[in-house]
Amino acid sequence: MALRSEMRRSIYQSARVLLLALLVAAVWPVGAGHADGQRIFIVTDIVVDETAETAVAARAMAEMAGRRAALTRLLKRLTRSTDWSRLPELEPNDILDLLKGHSVRDEKTSAVRYLGRLDFAFRPAAIRQLLDNYDLAFAETESTPVLIVPIFRGRQGDILWAEDNPWYDVFLKAEESDGLVPLMLPYRELADMQSLSLQTALKADSADLAPLTERYATERAAYVIATVRPATDEQGQTLELKVIERNETGEESIATEDLGAVQDNMLVERLTTAAVRARIAIEDFWKQRNEVRLDIESRVTVVVPITDYQAWLQLGKSLDNVAGLRRWSVVQLGQKEAVIDLWTNGGIEQLRLALNHEQLQLAPGPVDWYLLPRDKAALPNRQQPATADTNQPQQTDTVPATGNKS
């Protein structure tokens, strides 16, 4: 009786594994996987306002203007600022060829006028090829948030955590960017002051940012220093920007920029401009380290533990959203794990960062990498405002890129 029961249990388990394998194969045909990081190639909330002889003509003009504005924003999102002057000026029909579609958020019309807010989705492969044709380096991997530490140096002294730091306030009020690198500010509370004092911050040693990055569970942080100093001719004053970033590997990147003369009554306006320039510098650091190489494809083999069917399906959806991942294929399927090949136009570090953004992580195994869900680290709980003033697996193959890419 016990033997018969054990046999039934064994048959049931085998059938369950077989059913799971069949379901997986139906959803993920071996060799048929693809990924293109579609989200990066969507541009939202383009405002248009056009007038023509008729409402239909005004709408057509607005859509054409919107497509061009969206393409410009997308190309700037992907390329470094030093290359923006070389971005291509395309004919309207050429822009249409790059477009996957568009949708309307909001619109108003009259007999001769069209106002609207539009979203545009572009074809990833076409955009990549366009940039490659114009010899424009680009990145498409989204960064995890960068913690910025705003230090203001003016005639009244140096300010970091104090409530009257105008430089901090500019970042606090800044509109959220749709670039590749989101920025985050410390809460400006006692625990922050204990993690990094003003005196330590003024040394501008990026290694001193480690306690803050640990506190805010982020891999990268940057000093953004705005300095108002007397002009060299002793007439008036000038504004200088310095950005010092420490990335996820501990490497340091530095950018400085002289923003010219500044009057006291124009300080906030000039600091707002400086904040935009600081964001661009941080984005450029990221893009330079994560450039896509269309002429090279790297294959990384990963092992994926199988826990249940729903988790397996979710993994497929997540892989489809990984920027820089050109395609993937299931090469082996077992009862408890699967082996997948990931193909990318970047290196292993770029792939790791892109996977992190989709809450996946590469973990080193004895031979291959393991692909696992990423543990989500929580931000510190917000406190009351402070009153203080002051040897691993490697990518398995690198070959010239051939064939179509998503």
The answer to whether 208 touches 246, Cβ cutoff 8 Å, is no
What pLDDT, on a 0 to 100 scale, did the predictor assign at position 193? 95
* Cα–Cα distance, 76 to 360 (Å, whole number): 27
Report the pLDDT value the prediction gives residue 92, as an integer from 0 to 100. Answer: 95
pLDDT value, residue 386: 37
Query: What does the pLDDT read at residue 11?
Result: 36
Is residue 273 within 8 A of residue 171, CB to CB? The reply is no
Whole-number pLDDT of residue 20: 40
Q: Identify the CA nearest to 274 among candidates 113, 151, 98, 119.
A: 151
pLDDT of res. 235: 65
What is residue 275's predicted lDDT score, i.e. its pLDDT? 97
Would you state the pLDDT for residue 380? 59
The answer to whether 171 and 177 are in contact (CB under 8 A) is: no
Per-residue model confidence as pLDDT tens digits over 332-388: 888 788 899 998 877 788 888 888 878 888 888 777 788 988 764 455 554 443 333
The pLDDT value given to residue 375: 66
- B/e letters for 298-312, b = 16+ CB within 10 Å, e = fewer, are bbbbbbbebeeeeeb
Of the CA atoms within 13 Å of residue 111, those in its CB half-sphere come to 0
Residue 5 half-sphere exposure toward CB, CA atoms < 13 A:
2
β-sheet bridge partners, residue 397? 299
CA count, 13 A, side-chain hemisphere, 103: 5
User: Strand 113-122 relative to strand 157-159: parallel, antiparallel, unpaired?
Assistant: unpaired
Would you state the CATH architecture of domain 146-289?
A: 3-Layer(aba) Sandwich (3.40)
Specify whether the backbone of 324 is left (phi greater than 0), alpha (psi in -120 to 50) or beta: left
How large is the C-alpha radius of gyration of the chain? 26
Strands 360-364 and 397-400: unpaired
Residue 332's pLDDT is what? 86
The candidate with the shortest Cα–Cα distance to 10, out of 335, 365, 396, is 335
* CA pseudo-torsion sign 80, 83, 89, 95: negative
CATH code 3.30.70 for 20-37+291-406: yes
**Mean pLDDT over each residue of the chain, to the nearest integer:** 83
Domain spans in the chain, listed from the N-terminal domain onward: 20-37+291-406, 38-133, 146-289
Low-confidence stretches of the chain (pLDDT < 50) are 1-34, 376-377, 382-406
At 405 the pLDDT is 39
